[in-house]
Structure 1
């Protein structure tokens, strides 16, 4: 691929442009938001000048409700030889193509699964897609050369291609992305009118659960509108589980020991299912959370404390797969949670403890 046009310079569009520019592709930027486009250009994502002729690939980085119309407009102007998008909903754009007289043969749907709660071009990163799944949803009309061009895009961005049917993709992201965002938002909404005292005692768990609620409400409104039925199906199942939890919690105070026992069993089953579901989440290609163990190390609230932990772990030759830091302002210390392979956990605990660190596993 020698040339590309990225239409839409938000976080994802700018990240695609940065990744392609890094590999030597000549990237042209197009956005109705001229401020965002100029910012992306200043970041080195590409040029605002229109291409001299057809580019090899046009990437539509616009909300899913605009994919079909933007595709038709770009195709009618002869912008590119092939087209793809990065929207998180796929069935609706595929269905709407024919209604706007777009050519499905030169288009393949795409969705890089590497979002961020931050928005705008300044959230763009050239390495955002590295080793992340990138779903492609070719239709029966998609030309093989167009699919190959999209596969080349994924490779240039260092992503991992995954081929799916549009409807299967939408049901999958409803479960793993869209419904979780709504649930996170609902939890965060409980805090809007909470007392200052309640918010002050919030811990890392609340921060983890509500992190993605910081996403752009306008963008998420459009995503949910485009995938409403699939998200509603997930939430219906979630509501059934929630009602089961509420019933169990109420029944814990029942005078009948048999009712209390059943409530306790229900809670334990749901918590265990949560453990098992969480363990299925892939941490990185070939490694799930079930393969990893968490080691908590107490660190003082002093400069270089975290660096000393990393140095100590590096000296014993253990690879850190991920880290989580829990620290509340005003406290004299915090916890750093190191995720390492289970086979290394016991020995790492022993060696860190021997070096004077306070460790729990």
Structure 2
């Protein structure tokens, strides 16, 4: 099937989504969509193989159980990757509703339904939002606020179906990003799937490490391995469904890894630094806040006693310094009752923040 061109964003278009919206899969993402729709006054119908999920999501105000005579305008499929194609196909057969899904892979589900009679009513989508928690109890109507949400129309999709999915994205607070299904899958392989796999490989080196080695763990290893704690079964489904794009990138990483091994083994510092420079360039390519260009930042490190109220006091003193905090990380010192708090700020404001905090009695590290 040929790739669809980018869909235009039409300003000030009157929303066409009036409901009801059926959400199939009342977990974290599905229940959050239900809450966002309910917040906007849209009726939400809930379906899930788990009656407990439906009961919990309903109790939270994310919708009500679907009845046999309900006729949704839009069906949102929010089930695990292995079941997407089957559930999307069933939703297309069940009525005349537009169907979207929020899975992290787009080419596979499209291939599963491309030859069905209702394929023109299907438009894939994928919100780039989530949580380390799962299930409806973790749901929130604000989950998608300001977050990118990919919309991936295919060439045979009805324009009205694409517009309805765009309405859903905007109603939920998301920011539409237009991609073809294949472009989407290449993008998430690069920005999500391969980083997760590499994180898992690094974390695996820690599993049987001697205890005295692990006592040297700092914030760096925590940053690199954080996403490796995700559910292996879920990520196994995700990566398997995007195997072609992931395998191509892993091959590139393998080539770089072999070059790095050769440089380290031969003491080739220039070759090693070339690879490290490419890594620095990659970090600078990541968009800054609000989607704008990344701005130069600097980290200010502050020792914070591990007592109630100390972190709040640090934040209050940082506010008093009139320096905006771009990011924050905390590294607990296993040998002392203090934590090292890293405040990431605009590079031009770092010295001012250091001086201001030191004047207020904080111990900083320059």
TM-score over 0.5 (shorter chain): yes
Aligned to 2:123, the other structure's residue is in SS state strand
- In the alignment, the residues of structure 2 paired with residue 105 and residue 188 of structure 1 have an alpha-carbon distance, to the nearest angstrom, of 44
**SS of the residue 2:97 aligns to:** coil
Q: Secondary structure at the match of 1:302?
A: coil
Q: Which residue of 2 aligns with 1:25?
A: 42
Distance 1:292 1:23 in 2: 38
Determine the C-alpha separation between the residues in 2 that align with 1:102 and 1:317. 60
List runs of 5+ in structure 2 lacking aligned partners. Answer: 1-17
Deviation at 1:51, TM superposition (A): 6.9
Show the counterpart of 2:266.
251
CA contact (8 A) 1:64 1:222 kept: yes
Q: CA deviation at 1:230?
A: 0.5
SS of residue in 2 equivalent to 1:62:
coil
Q: Distance in 1 between matches of 2:54 and 2:224?
A: 32
Asked if structure 2 preserves the Cα contact closer than 8 Å seen for 1:65 and 1:93, the reply is no
SS of the aligned residue for 2:298 comes to strand
Shift of 1:57: 1.4
- Runs ≥4 in structure 1, deviation > 6 angstroms? none
1:77 to 63, 87, 94: 94
Q: Which of residues 233, 236, 239 in structure 2 aligns to 1:224?
A: 239
**Are the counterparts in 2 of residues 84 and 107 from structure 1 also a CA contact under 8 Å?**
yes
Partner of 1:150: 165
Show the counterpart of 1:104: 119
TM-score of the two chains, using structure 1 as the length reference: 0.90
CA distance in 2, matches of 1:250, 1:37: 57
Structure 2 match to 1:50 = 67
Give the 3 Å change call, closer, same or farther, for CA 269–318 of structure 1 in structure 2.
same
Quote the residue 1:260 is aligned against: none
What is the root-mean-square deviation of aligned Cα atoms in Å? 2.0
Preserved CA contact (<8 Å) 2:23 2:76:
yes
Summarize deviations over 1:314-351 as a string: whole Å, max 9, x none: 11222222211111455221111122233433322222
TM-score (norm 2): 0.88
Does the aligned pair in 2 maintain the 1:117–1:213 contact within 8 Å?
no
1:94 lines up with 2:110 in the alignment: yes
- Per-residue deviation, residues 6-58 of structure 1 (Å, max 9, x unmatched): 11122222222222222222212111122333332333322224374322211
How many residues in Structure 1 have an aligned counterpart in Structure 2? Answer: 349
Residues in 1 aligned to 2:61 and 2:222: alpha-carbon distance in whole angstroms:
33
Match of 1:313 in 2: 318
What CA distance in whole angstroms lies between the structure 2 residues aligned with 1:57 and 1:348? Answer: 50
- Deviations along 1:177-223, one digit per CA (max 9) or x if unpaired, are 01111111122222333333333432222222221112222221111
Aligned to 2:143: 128
> How far, CA to CA, are the matches of 1:329 and 1:17 in structure 2?
43
Q: Is the 8 A contact 1:324 1:336 kept in 2?
A: yes
Residues 192/41 of structure 1: CA separation in 2 closer, same or farther (3 Å cut): farther
